Amino acid sequence: MRVISGSAKGRPLKAVPGMGTRPTTDKVKEAVFSMIGPYFDGGRVLDLFAGTGGLSIEALSRGMEQAVLTDVDKKAIDTIRHNLEATGLSKQAEVYRNDAERAMKALARRGLKFDLVFLDPPYKMKVILGLMELLEELGLLEERSYVVMEHDAEDRYEEPVGALSCTRRAEYGDTAITIYRRET
């Protein structure tokens, strides 16, 4: 794994030890950013179930100003911090060991809003729609923000969720990417 483009281009990223995390492949990561970017002029990214931090690190490298990364696994948190240091992006990021729902509630209490959200829970969890509803309910999304979901290709997510509308879906083997855009 590596950073594909931007200020940290080519820097290697460490994987989370063990078999509990499924890192986003470079091919899928490149496809995601070609669909939503590929580059940004500032903004804030939220990465729930961050794993290695690779998606948020890529977003920071491509011009996002700030990132908030969360995961419940201590090994993942340690890996995220290592990868942020290795890419020189740690000053632009906040890293929290917390579950997604509690993290979102804490961020809402701080009044934070995000331009880009990555939702990549373990495929067996089936919590994506509930988390998208909570993003809307808590007011965590900026106008015209993107929510990028990585999930099992067998699962379909294409119905609107509040002001979020599905704009794109693509499959890469057993992985699917579904992208929502917030429009009001």
pLDDT 10s digits, 96-107: 999 999 999 999
* pLDDT for the residue 65: 98
DSSP H helices, 22-114, are 26-36, 54-61, 74-87, 100-109
Closest CA to 174 of 157, 153, 156: 153
Q: Which residues contact 87 (CB under 8 A, 6 or more apart)?
A: 3, 8, 11, 13, 57, 60, 61
The Cβ of residue 124 has, within 10 Å, a number of other Cβ atoms equal to: 7
Percentage with pLDDT > 70 across the chain: 98
CA of 179: how far to CAs of 21, 40, 56, 70, 121, in Å?
22, 17, 16, 20, 15
Predicted TM-score (pTM) of the model is 0.95
C-beta separation of 117 from 147 below 8 A:
yes
Q: How confident is the model at residue 88 (pLDDT cuts 50, 70, 90)?
A: very high
Per CATH, the number for 26-182 is 3.40.50.150
- CA dist., res. 84 & res. 56, Å (int): 10
